[in-house]
Amino acid sequence: MRKGRSVVLEEDHTLILGWSDTIFTVLAELDIANESQRKPSAVVLADRDKVEMDDLIREKVRPKRTRIVTRSGSPIDLGHLAVVRAELARSIVVLSPEDDPEPDAQVIKTILALTKGESHSDHRYHVVAEIQDPSHLDAAHLVGGEEVVLIDKRETIAKLVVHSARQSGASLAVIELLDFKGDEVYFNEDPALVGGQFGDALLAYEDCSAIGVLDGEGKVQLNPPPSRPFAAGEKVIAIAADDAHLAAAAPSQGQVEEEAVVGGPPTPRKPERILVLGWNQGAPAVIHEFDQFLLPGSAIVVVSEDEAADACLRGQPVANATLSLEAGNPSERDRLAAIGLAGFDHVIVLSQEGVEAQRADARTLVTLLHLRDLADREGAGFTVVSEMVDDRNRQLAEVTRVDDVIVSDKIISLMLTQISENRELAQVFGELFSASGGELYLRPAGDYVAGDREVEYATVVEAARRRSECAVGYRVAAAGEAAGFGVRINPPKSERVRLGAGDRVIVVAAGQ
């Protein structure tokens, strides 16, 4: 038993296969999610010493509700899989192994071992796995079929980086939806909505925010037209404190103040100039994603000393922007000063690959410090978004007045945990991160309600409904860390709010 080779006794457990730093966030979030469960458990199978795993989990997770059992063994070994009783697991999370030259190959082999094992013949698995390289997705789909939900790590992070660069605070809103500490996305079949329209659901609940419909065929539709009818057997997709809260949601108590609703056109867009500092394997995905949102006449400039950047950019197709590369070290002050920062609208600082995490984050911090100092001297007004490897360095980045920090491993960990709890959420997140779906936007509050006027939040929801959008919250620009940087997701409809210049309304809306 000390060596971690005995068969586990758990049933209806969450099974985690593999080991990386991601596991600590996954286990911590599971512990919160299991608050209402009776005797919840999670089982970890990894090719590491059991005592070492137990010590690290106690140190970094400190579970309060969930019993965590570890077993030492290889996730691709059928005999070792039998020890953790995969066939009795409620869900299975396959982690991309750290320090492996071919992590996706190990993930695919783990999925293959699961689906080809003897215990799988009469049991259907619910597996969620992360893939590092998008080129391996097809192979993973062939192996896992419909039983496996795959998270494309590179594409997902690229999309979030771009959204955050275009609108400050986007990652904060996404994390609020992904973690289990606040409100999350749930599904509920509400007979009271049948026969009505989706627009009615937007103001139907006091403290739940409708964002879409799960139709009778199991297809997710985020931000459908307000006139879309609700049919029997369909479920409303909403943000709520928990699924029980949504099922017993109280009717809205908020009042719409007609005179405060703004009915004019949205703030017009214009061509933009984007500066990308640094290079990693996710850079092409960032450029491709940003290009989809830009208007013709825009420009993307990459500054990097990586030799791979030049070869990659030559074959990088862009439709709406001109793409250019300037050679040099993006963390050197003189190189940044020579760029002409005042001419850019958005700056993205990418994390360096191939070096230790703290060293990569230190280089990013130096770049951010130089950026802000030069911006103050030049009077530049661009937004800054950066990638970080270690979430602990997010607070250090705040001294640089960075608009947003993306910690890729944390985002992926939260998505893995959410989808392991509810498979249908994969469709929701796919839509939220898609340029063609219903996406999460932070738009000027002045486009919705009259500025510097206190109104009930229901007025904001109604203003968004008239634009065929689903309001899910707001962000107060002047708020600091103690107030969650001003992000307020799913406030009660009767809550009184005052939104002024610089504040944002958070909506699920059609991409643009």
Q: What is the pTM of this model?
A: 0.86
Please tell me the distance from the alpha carbon of residue 78 to that of residue 87, in angstroms, as a whole number: 12
Please report the pLDDT score of residue 393 as a whole number.
81
- 307 exposed, middle or buried (CB, 10 Å; 0-12, 13-18, 19+)? exposed
Please report the pLDDT score of residue 2 as a whole number.
66
Contacts of 106 (CB under 8 A, 6+ apart): 18, 75, 76, 96, 97, 100
β-pairing verdict for 148-152 and 127-131: parallel
Q: Where in the chain is the domain with CATH 3.30.70.1450?
A: 167-262+414-510
Q: What is the CATH number of domain 14-159?
A: 3.40.50.720
Distance from chain centroid for Cα 25: 14
Mean pLDDT split into 10-residue runs, the chain, 512 residues? 77 94 92 86 94 93 92 92 91 89 93 80 84 92 91 89 84 87 92 94 96 93 94 95 90 93 79 94 90 91 90 84 92 91 92 86 92 88 88 77 81 92 90 76 91 91 95 87 78 94 90 60
Q: What is the CATH number of domain 266-402?
A: 3.40.50.720
CA distances from 398 to 378, 403, 469 (A): 21, 8, 32
Please report the pLDDT score of residue 275 as a whole number.
95
* Tokens (6 digits) for 189: 């079949």
Q: Which residues pair with 92 in a beta bridge?
A: 15, 127
Treating both helix axes as pointing N-terminal to C-terminal, what angle do 283-293 and 307-314 enclose, rounded to 10 degrees? 40
CATH architecture under which domain 167-262+414-510 falls: 2-Layer Sandwich (3.30)
* Tokens (6 digits) for 188: 């509920």
Please report the pLDDT score of residue 122 as a whole number.
67
Query: Which letter does DSSP use for residue 193 in this model?
Result: G
Alpha-helical regions (H) of 341-456? 357-378, 394-397, 408-421, 425-432
Please tell me the distance from the alpha carbon of residue 124 to that of residue 75, in angstroms, as a whole number: 18
Please report the pLDDT score of residue 437 as a whole number.
66
Residue (of 286, 268, 266) closest to 276 by Cα position? 286
| H-helix or E-strand spanning residue 31 | helix 22-33
Q: How big, in percent rounded to 5, are the helix, strand and coil portions of the chain?
A: 40, 25, 35
Q: Where in the chain is the domain with CATH 3.40.50.720?
A: 14-159, 266-402
Please report the pLDDT score of residue 149 as a whole number.
94
Please report the pLDDT score of residue 57 as a whole number.
94
* Tokens (6 digits) for 198: 């989706």
Please tell me the distance from the alpha carbon of residue 461 to that of residue 254, in angstroms, as a whole number: 10
